[in-house]
A and B are shown apart, each in its own frame.
Chain A
Amino acid sequence: MSHETPTLEAAVRERTGSRYAQRLRKLGQLPAIVYGHGQDPVAVSVDETALVRHLLQGAHVMNLKIKGAAQTCLVKDLQFGYLGDNVIHADFTRVNLDEEVTVNVHLRYSGTPAEAEKPGAVLTHEMTELEVICKVNAIPEEIRVDQSDMETVLTVADIILPPGVRAVADPDTAIAHITYVQEDASGEEAEVEAEGAQPEVITEAKDDGDESKESSD
């Protein structure tokens, strides 16, 4: 963490359930829950705008001020609305700054490989985030990946991770690769060919088999 841990005011929710959660959302608050470290879970609400702003800046750990006492919490999960553009609930887990956690960190790709400049070459990023294990106070906001020197495949082993951070994925796992697109051959002819095509019906095939058995008997 290169910047200071953001602090959020969290109000304890006395009443829980979808109806009360919906009322909070209308007031610009986000329902959330804090759990972990053997303590009872606490239903809270936090300012939605502030939380989303910190999340967009890459923050994973936040200080939640619950009843005046600050607790260091890791954002464990987010729930989204059905269109995926608004956060509707957040899960926080209590952590110590020196404990090891597993988090997903955004990968920021930079540079253009020479191979991708060739006609028909398509650079595809298999991963946009990487699962890493590190101490809470060492979670990077993002991991920069320089792809300018890549040939056809970039693997997890090629990422230069910050000190104290290690990847969960196998070092041979591809994170980006270059493929070559061939000219699309599917024309009208192919469509005409497909007009008459029908899928195979599994149950009908079985029935035929049974009938043939019966007839043989």
Chain B
Amino acid sequence: MTHFQLNCEGMNCPMPIVELTKAARSLEVGQKIEVTATDLAFKPDLEAWARRMGHTIEQFDEADDKSHAIICLGSKK
């Protein structure tokens, strides 16, 4: 299944989380978002957002100041 692609590179807090929320609202439970971001707080913010909203971070990695994550959407969008 193709993941929804979201490029948040160059965006500062809180915009990556705002864009993730917009994307999540347009998708169904169980669908996945693949996101890249460069905000320094992206990892803790993503974790807080996912816990709060019931999503699962299936993959997270960082390289060259760029974060990459795959999120599986839960029921609370």
B is a partner of A:
no
